[in-house]
Amino acid sequence: MSSTTDAVTYWQDVYAARPAATDPRPNVRLTETVTSLPPGDALDLGCGNGGDALWLARQGWHVTAVDISAVAVERLAGLARSHGLGDRLTSVQHDLAVQPDLHDSFPQGEFDLICAHYLHTPFDLDRATVLRRAAHALRVGGQLLVVDHGSTAPWSWNQDPDVHYPTPAEVAAGIDLDSATWTVERAESPRRIATGPDGQTAEVTDHVLLVRRGRR
């Protein structure tokens, strides 16, 4: 079985094992960043249950939400319709892993906002290339918001005590964008109280990187 097939199967099983969300919450790092922005076209990379995509659509954004799991995107499509947001939210299955023979692994189009919240996986994923492609898919003035885990929550699938969580500066260095075109507007590691899938709470650290495209 290929690693790609393994990843698809793994995430299919993860979402199939979860009860379908009826009104998933958006991530706080999204709402605090986007509330003041005028609505436009948004891309949500790794949409999961769809809390971010639904929130953006409610704010007037036209959202393309992608995930490797067909279960996740099909559930989100149904949620969008049930909440009257079907005309603003399109959910599509995509494997973002960069593969030479799959040229459509990254969604087509240009966007005013691209979000990548907790785009972590136990499988190989060239995140730097994915995020670089995302930066290049921004319109002038558009923003790329990358939010990563900066600590291990009790409910995390990765409990390796030696795991290294790249800092926002390290993520920015890995994307390696031309500073004449893209500007890092935020690179911080704020903490918050998070709630896990079973209602457990814990203090966690987020690594937040916000990049704006200034010109072509």
103 pLDDT above the threshold of 60: no
Strands (E), 40-134: 41-45, 62-67, 89-93, 111-117
Alpha carbon distance 95, 8 (integer Å): 8
Is 3-213 a CATH 3.40.50.10490 domain?
no
Break the chain into its structural domains and give their ranges. 3-213
**Model confidence, pTM:** 0.92
Residues 190, 53, 92, 23, Cα dihedral to 10°: 110
pLDDT single digits (tens) 109-150? 999 999 999 998 888 889 999 999 999 999 999 999 999 999
pLDDT band at 2 (very low <50, low <70, confident <90, very high): very low
Alpha carbon distance 47, 151 (integer Å): 21
pLDDT band at 1 (very low <50, low <70, confident <90, very high): very low
pLDDT single digits (tens) 153-168? 888 877 888 889 999 9
pLDDT band at 23 (very low <50, low <70, confident <90, very high): confident
C-alpha atoms less than 13 angstroms from C-alpha of 113 in its C-beta half-sphere: 26
